[in-house]
Amino acid sequence: MTNTALLVIDVQNSFTALPRWQAISAPDIVQRTKTLVDHARASGDLVVWVLHAEPGSDGPFDPKRGQVTLQPGLSPAPDEPVLTKTSRNAFTTTELGRVLTRHCIHRLRICGIQTEQCCETTARIGADLGYQVDFVTDATATFPIAHRDSDPDRPYEQVLSDPHTLGTAEIIERTEYALSGRFARITSIEEVCSTATAEA
């Protein structure tokens, strides 16, 4: 095994139950994730699966609803850790740090949902803990964000038509600007896979 771990963050069925799923930036996020997982396995990298839960919320992220599960097409191998978090980042409420230490991991590759939330916060914490972090932006996905002063209860169609809503392209660009050179190296599926192929 190498000293690199691929963190697959929150590519779960909970999101598909939300109205905003219709506006996801990467509708093929499962296939994009699977491409990275296949390359990680072929390269001998550790794959760590992370799910997000909100116990007692009675929503799609409440485990009792049965939707805190990986989306169809994604399946952990028997020796791949599956962790469930209740915080935005993948470290604070899980055993992730211990898992990475046990496997002598020094580099993290991050993919999943959402770009600017759980993926970005995990990248920031990982960098602060001393890991080298690769942020595979095109293997992350996000949704338009309503303006902070807008009505949180209005129909999602109104959010999408509101000129003050922040679009996914802007969110992704801002995330890259914030992380690059500080918390992570910005990379792509193509770059990761071509590098893995060249080193094989």
What would the pLDDT profile of 105-153 be if each residue is shown by its tens digit? 999 999 999 999 999 999 999 999 999 999 999 999 999 999 999 998 8
Q: What is the pTM of this model?
A: 0.94
Identify the CA nearest to 107 among candidates 143, 140, 134: 134
Q: What secondary structure does DSSP assign to 173-191, as a single string?
A: HHHHHHHBTTTBEEE-HHH
State the pLDDT at residue 153: 86
State the pLDDT at residue 195: 75
Task: Locate the domains of the chain by residue range.
Answer: 4-199
Residue 64: CB atoms within 10 Å? 11
CATH of 4-199, one of 3.30.70.260, 3.90.105.10, 3.50.50.60, 3.40.50.850: 3.40.50.850
- Calpha distance 200→114 (Å, rounded): 31
State the pLDDT at residue 198: 46
Bridge partner residues of 132 (DSSP):
107
Q: Which residues of the chain have pLDDT under 50?
A: 197-200
